[in-house]
Amino acid sequence: MWHSLPVNLQTWIAADHATIATRFEAAIATHVPIELWNQTPPGGGSCIAGLLFHMTLHEDLAINTAVRNKAPIIDQHRQLLGIDHLAKSIGLSETEDPRLIEALNVGHLRLYVEAVTTATAQWLSALDTNTLDTVPDASSRLEHTADIAVEGLEWLHSMWTGKPITWFVQWEAIGHRHGHLGEMVGIRGRLGRSPF
């Protein structure tokens, strides 16, 4: 007879977050050359680089700014990413902005992704799960700590307002990224790079 083992919530969350980077390396980076990451796939739609930047920026702003009230890591990488001349809000929308893709230094993108993933992992490793029901002042922190104004991004401020930390972890740091990783797997196939 199968007996259940006690589940450590903090360990479970941290492990789920870690699998995304592992899956990206195994499913995307191993099969799709970085030179193709900013290529629009056949049939149109977002490219791998655009999706990778988008999901990482969301995690960065959600965990580092909305939850922890710290400046987002993107601030340290904007110049090296080649996007310091673009609006700080670029890449937040689900609709890919061609200006971002044209400017984006895809080689440095991996370093930004690694920095955000590592920072979240370190925070999760010491996460007090008793704080998960806390509701941060996300909209104010976006505006004042990350310089992401409400105007033009009403949808984002509204979506993040009133949400507990558990939502930011469950959705922006994990679920949102899993979803876009699945989209990248589809793009891999459309680029003719599927190993199957």
100 CB-side CA count, 13 A: 25
Given the structure tokens 């492990």, which residue do they identify? 15
pLDDT value at residue 8: 85
Entry pTM: 0.95
pLDDT beneath 50: ranges in the chain: 1-2
- CA 75 to CA 27: how far, in whole Å? 29
- CA 36 to CA 193: how far, in whole Å? 10
Q: Which string of DSSP letters, residue by residue, matches 86-98?
A: S-TTTT-SSSPPH
Which tokens sit at 44? Answer: 């149109």
Which tokens sit at 35? Answer: 């030179």
pLDDT value at residue 112: 98
pLDDT value at residue 153: 97
**Domain ranges (residues) in the chain:** 16-190
Which tokens sit at 22? Answer: 């592992």
Q: Which fold has domain 16-190?
A: Four Helix Bundle (Hemerythrin (Met), subunit A) (1.20.120)
pLDDT value at residue 116: 98
Which tokens sit at 135? Answer: 């509701």
Given the structure tokens 């789920």, which residue do they identify? 16
pLDDT value at residue 9: 86
pLDDT value at residue 4: 56
pLDDT value at residue 70: 98
Given the structure tokens 């979803």, which residue do they identify? 179
